[in-house]
Amino acid sequence: MTSLQPPTTVVNLDVQGMTCASCAARIEKKLNRMEGVSATVNYATEKATVQVNDVEPAALIATIEQAGYGATLPTETADEPQHELDALRRRLLVATALSVPVIAMSMVAVLQFPGWQWLSLLLSVAVVG
């Protein structure tokens, strides 16, 4: 006779309050003690990936909170990737607009007025910063 296992579901959680890798290990240990749970916690990304068999996400969050940390289900919106692309595009345009005068002043002798190096430095710092 074979026993039927319920299908495994993957639940991703955002974990708050971890200050070191030991915290991640502690949370992982607490989650793995639960029946039907296999968890991995990543301190660097502050995320927990949990494979569960018939366990509610609220129970996982409660276990993490009992360990002294915070946890929430991730909130992802469809506009988030587009917002990031818009921000990167804006940074690229500003960096280009500030870099062109620096290149022109350093390569064209006619544009090199007294103190042009300082202006180049200011424009370059704005691009890097």
pLDDT tens string, the chain, 129 residues long: the values are 455 566 688 999 999 999 999 999 999 999 999 998 999 999 999 999 999 988 899 999 999 999 999 999 988 655 677 888 899 999 999 999 999 999 999 999 999 999 999 999 999 999 887
pTM of the model: 0.56
64 and 26 within one domain: yes
Domain count, the chain: 2
Residue 4 domain-assigned (yes or no):
no
68 and 93 within one domain: no
93 and 61 within one domain: no
Cα end-to-end distance, the chain, whole Å: 66
- Coil/strand/helix, residue 13: strand
pLDDT at 5: 60
51 and 22 within one domain: yes
Q: At a CB cut-off of 8 Å and minimum separation 6, what does 117 contact?
A: none
> Which residue segment(s) compose the domain that 124 sits in?
79-128
- Coil/strand/helix, residue 46: coil
36 and 15 within one domain: yes
Q: At a CB cut-off of 8 Å and minimum separation 6, what does 37 contact?
A: 31, 50, 51, 52, 53, 55, 60
pLDDT at 7: 65
